[in-house]
Structures are given as structure tokens and as C-alpha cells.
Chains A and B, each alone.
Chain A
């Protein structure tokens, strides 16, 4: 090969920052990242969460679901049992009083996620900022995480898939769930469902950093009562429900 030793464009970018890049030979690049400086947008100093005000959630509104489908490109094949649902509207009827409410349920982004504990390959993982994801590059499709999730938050892709969104690659034989729109969060935006909920004027969903006491979500949680689903399991989910 007559090419001069080359390193990739991104390695060059990196070497300007905290990373030290050393090229020993053509195509062999050693990289060492220094200190605790954050490489990507995932920041251990943050914990992203959602607060859902059940009272403000209109019973027949599905704006959050449609927005999620558009953003992440999951759609049904007309089979309710096997179609993916990253976010779903659950209707709850109080057994004692008969009072009915409806609310969206999605991955609860637990602090101690059972899906992460059980995953044999580590494909199911929690980012530093608390977002629980599936690394589909190493998911083998064993579905043990779906057995372990107490919220029915995960779906298995039952068919060959194409025409995916660039935002959310997804494919046959792997497990998927709400990503809290991690691709938007990394760009400083809010999840698509929250944006859509705001656009309807209901304003039932608040997204924010649970570790920042000054964030709107933290203030609301401190001021008003809220609950975690399956609080008995002590999983400390990042998604909270008010007025349930």
C-alpha cells in the first residue's frame, strides 16, 4: 500500500481535545482519553426524567404516540400481539371508585433497571445520564429483558424491517423500547412526545434533569405529590406520575 500513514478525521478531531492520539504504523492508531472530560453528550452529572400529569392527559389524545412513531419510525403491521409499542396509552379504572383516567406508559428509565441486570451480553444498558437503551449491535434477541421488565415497556421486532428512521435504527430479531429520544436530548432538544404534548396545549409531560434542583421537573416533583409505577420494587424510575 503506497498510502502515507493516515488517521481518521474523527481521530484528528479528538486529538485536539482531551485525547492523545499516537500513530505507530499505517492503520494502527493508539488512542488514550485523558481525565474525566465528557466525550459525548451523556453526562454523569445529569439524570433525565419525565413527569406526567395524569389529570392533564386528555383521555382520547394520542399525540405523544403519533409523535414517537414519526420520530422513531416504528409502525405496526396490523397485528396487535406482535407490533412494537414504544409508548402506549393505558386506561385505568379505579377498582374502588370507578374513576377512569388515561395516561401514557413507556420505558420508565429506572435507576436500577432489571432489563440491564438480566441482559447476558450487556446490550441492555443505562447511559451515564440515566437513559436506558438497547445497543442493537450486540443484542442477540433472547428477550430475557422483556421477561424482566415490570412495565411491559419493551417490544421485539418480529419482522424484517426497512425504511427506518435515521434517528432510531431498528431491526428484526432485536429488542427495542423508548429511548427518551436520546438523539434529540444529545442535541439539547426535548423528546418528541413532550413536544407534541405541549403542542396540543395539554402540557401533561415535563422533561428535565432530575439531578438539577433548579429544573422545572425537580421543582414540580418537590412541590407536588407524584408516584413511581411499581414503587414496591424500589427501581427508582426516571418517569414519574402526578395526580394518579
Chain B
């Protein structure tokens, strides 16, 4: 079993190599191209450590008022915003969003955009979908969640108001 896993890992590593220009190919996530200068630390460093950098700075900013920070979330979008094809940018609600490209692939939840905007400053983000949902749609969402979680038919036991 362990051998099989090892083999699978090796195979995946072979089909999805990180190419020299920092983009991924094969089975890995497809990372949207960024604009601007590359990170001097290198992409591999940023991929691994971007959260530590931002976490460190967020505490300094929020608690000590240090605004002269190297890693700020809003700066990320100066280069990493993905255009929506209509002159604007996609928000975190879209699967095309830069952060979601890898985070969806790795199934790691991003907490940032509950509070932070997910597009460059100045862009008017469209209203979120949750506002448009009717109660009927909500019931549908809840049903499908329960069906997914417990199997079809069980959702009648739950109150889907």
C-alpha cells in the first residue's frame, strides 16, 4: 500500500512538473499569469510562505500601526488580479480568482476574503450572489447539501426553512 502511494506520488510529480517560468502544467492547478516584476524571493518561496509573510505583517499593521509593510494583501492584486473579460476583475466568488486556482486544488479554505476585498482597489465589485438568493433557492441549497452529506432522501428530516 505504501509502495503504491509512493509510486502514485512519483507519477504525479513526473506529469506535473513545475516548469522554469513558474507556471504549472499537467495535473496541477492552472495558475493565472501575473503582471509586473517577479518576486525576488522566487515563486517557490512565495508559494510556501505567502501566508507567513502576510500573517506577520497583519499583526504589525493592526496592532502597531506599521503601514510600511512588505507583504500586504491589497498589493497582491496589483499583479495577481484576474480580468473578467468585461473590463473588470473576477472576485473570490469566481473559480478563476488567483487565490482559488491553488486553494481549490489543495482544498485549503481562504479566510481573507470574508473581510478583505478580493480585487484591486478602486474596482466596483458586483453584489454577492447570496443577496440575490430567494428562500426557494436557499431551500434547494440546503437540500442539496444534506443530500450530499447524508445521502438522498434523508434531508426531509432536517428543517429547511
Is B69 an interface residue when CB atoms closer than 8 A count as contact?
Answer: yes
> Which stretch of B9-17, B60-68, B136-144 is in the interface?
B60-68
B70:A9 contact, CB within 8 angstroms: yes
- Mask, B63-81, CB within 8 Å of A = 1, is 1111111110010000000
A164:B131 contact, CB within 8 angstroms: no
B63:A127 contact, CB within 8 angstroms: yes
> Which stretch of A64-72, A95-103, A167-175, A191-199 is in the interface?
A167-175
A13:B70 contact, CB within 8 angstroms: yes
A42:B63 contact, CB within 8 angstroms: yes
The residue in chain A whose Cβ has the minimal distance to the Cβ of B75 is A166
Is B125 an interface residue when CB atoms closer than 8 A count as contact?
Answer: yes
Which residues of chain A are near B48, meaning CB under 8 Å?
A: 1, 27
Closest CB in chain A relative to B121 CB, distance in Å: 5
Which residues of chain B are near A1, meaning CB under 8 Å?
A: 44, 48
Is A117 an interface residue when CB atoms closer than 8 A count as contact?
Answer: no
Is A39 an interface residue when CB atoms closer than 8 A count as contact?
Answer: yes
Closest CB in chain B relative to A116 CB, distance in Å: 13
A162:B91 contact, CB within 8 angstroms: yes
On chain A, the number of residues with a Cβ less than 8 Å from chain B's Cβ atoms is 43
Q: Of A133, A159, A166, which one neighbours B121 at CB under 8 angstroms?
A: A166
Is B41 an interface residue when CB atoms closer than 8 A count as contact?
Answer: yes
Is A212 an interface residue when CB atoms closer than 8 A count as contact?
Answer: no
Whole-angstrom distance between the alpha carbons of A211 and B44 in the complex? 48
Interface of chain B residues 110 through 160 with chain A (CB within 8 A): 113-118, 121, 124-125, 127-128, 130-131
The residue in chain A whose Cβ has the minimal distance to the Cβ of B111 is A137
Is B42 an interface residue when CB atoms closer than 8 A count as contact?
Answer: yes
> Which stretch of A50-58, A180-188, A200-208 is in the interface?
A180-188
A39:B115 contact, CB within 8 angstroms: no
The residue in chain B whose Cβ has the minimal distance to the Cβ of A13 is B70
Is A79 an interface residue when CB atoms closer than 8 A count as contact?
Answer: no
The residue in chain A whose Cβ has the minimal distance to the Cβ of B41 is A6
Beyond known contacts A1-B48, A39-B64, A42-B63: 15 more, CB 8 A cutoff: A1-B44, A2-B44, A3-B41, A6-B42, A6-B45, A10-B71, A27-B49, A40-B64, A127-B64, A159-B131, A161-B115, A164-B116, A169-B116, A172-B114, A173-B114
Show the binding face of A for B, using Cβ within 8 Å. 1-3, 6, 8-11, 13, 27, 38-42, 77, 125, 127-129, 133, 135-137, 159-166, 169-174, 182-183, 185-187
27 CB contacts below 8 A, A to B, read A2-B44, A3-B42, A3-B44, A6-B45, A8-B70, A9-B40, A11-B70, A27-B45, A40-B61, A40-B64, A40-B65, A40-B66, A40-B68, A42-B64, A77-B131, A127-B63, A135-B62, A137-B59, A159-B131, A162-B91, A162-B92, A162-B93, A162-B125, A164-B115, A164-B117, A166-B117, A172-B114
